[in-house]
Structure 1
């Protein structure tokens, strides 16, 4: 594993376990078992550490969500979308870290820019998927799909809701898409 990945993966874990205040260069060094100063040599500033962490988180989420984004079979697309949401719900560590970074991005314009750019890497394919499914307004529908998925993830990971099963998510995605698009073939 590359040292930058180790540092970023450790930062993701620290964000999930301790929140934004628990993420320091020293804490990353200690948790990763690195010599003191190693994280600072890689990411000089807190902003650089946050950027490195967000970049790695985006990479990990893209890999996890590839199941949905890489499918070309339209009939299986709702199931692939449900699998992608289920993956996010089950990976509490990664999802909590993303929420921490999202909140921090509301206070740091330089992080907001990176966060928004990363978000487009997920939203743009959602537009294409919904267009392929026959949406008359794929931009609006993709936003609704993302908002639904984010709400479900937040409720399961941070809220009072239970973690839904894959079958429950699948049924909900089917209902949501049917409401947007009508019955799928």
Structure 2
């Protein structure tokens, strides 16, 4: 296994450890034990706890960028009408946009539950570390991408609309694994419908 692959394995295991056992369970020794590695292996790759937390933040952001790209949720264009938020006339359609984003968020809930849980645990833990907390805060949903979306709607203030929309997405995710809708199963029609209905209310208002 290459050094790069070993680092990724350690970081992914760290994310799973936080998600299943809590932030206090994350230690270099715990990672060595979880992966059946010789004592000191994790500290060889990540000298300090903060270095490990930085790697976790980077890993979450990296996966989020890849997921966004794979979902093809870029700025709507007439050439892709019906798939990215434009209707057959090339006009912005909030229902289509809400559905596309709901499918994407539902996939995050299904495929990256541990990433989401670990991220929220770290955001609460790192209030005294604003630099690293900011990296985590911006590592899941992109205000910049959302701003491009609201520019297509002729919003009077795309920056504020984008920041507010990201807040809606953050709340929707939090609600799903710790709030009132934990009973909804990611990947189900009910899950996608709930997210769509939530998001379309905001998009229609803009």
Correspondence for 1:152 among 150, 172, 187 = 172
> What is the Cα deviation at residue 79 of structure 1?
2.4
Partner of 1:169: 195
With normalisation by structure 1, the TM-score equals 0.85
Could you give the per-residue CA deviations for residues 48-94 of structure 1, whole angstroms, max 9, x where no partner exists? 01001111111112222331533643324332211222123333211
**Aligned counterparts of 2:167 and 2:130: Cα–Cα separation in 1:** 22
Correspondence for 1:8 among 7, 11, 14 = 11
> What is the Cα deviation at residue 161 of structure 1?
2.3
Q: Is the 8 A contact 1:68 1:84 kept in 2?
A: no
What is the alpha-carbon root mean square deviation over aligned residues?
A: 2.1
Q: Is the 8 A contact 2:16 2:115 kept in 1?
A: yes
Q: After superposition, where does 1:6-155 map in structure 2 within 5 Å? A: 6-66=9-69, 67=71, 69-70=73-74, 72=76, 73-75=84-86, 76-90=96-110, 91-116=112-137, 118=139, 122-155=142-175
Distance 1:68 1:19, change over 3 A: farther
With normalisation by structure 2, the TM-score equals 0.77
| SS in structure 2 at match of 1:69 | coil
- Segments of 5+ residues of structure 2 without an aligned counterpart are 77-83, 87-95, 185-189
Q: Which has the larger radius of gyration?
A: 2
Q: Is the 8 A contact 2:123 2:137 kept in 1?
A: no
Number of residue-to-residue matches in the alignment? 179
**Aligned counterparts of 1:133 and 1:4: Cα–Cα separation in 2:** 42
- Segments of 5+ residues of structure 1 without an aligned counterpart are 181-185
Specify which structure has the higher proportion of helix: 1
| SS in structure 2 at match of 1:74 | coil
**Aligned counterparts of 1:29 and 1:56: Cα–Cα separation in 2:** 19
**Aligned counterparts of 2:59 and 2:181: Cα–Cα separation in 1:** 28
| 61-70 vs 9-18, greater mean Cα deviation | 61-70
| 7-16 vs 69-78, greater mean Cα deviation | 69-78
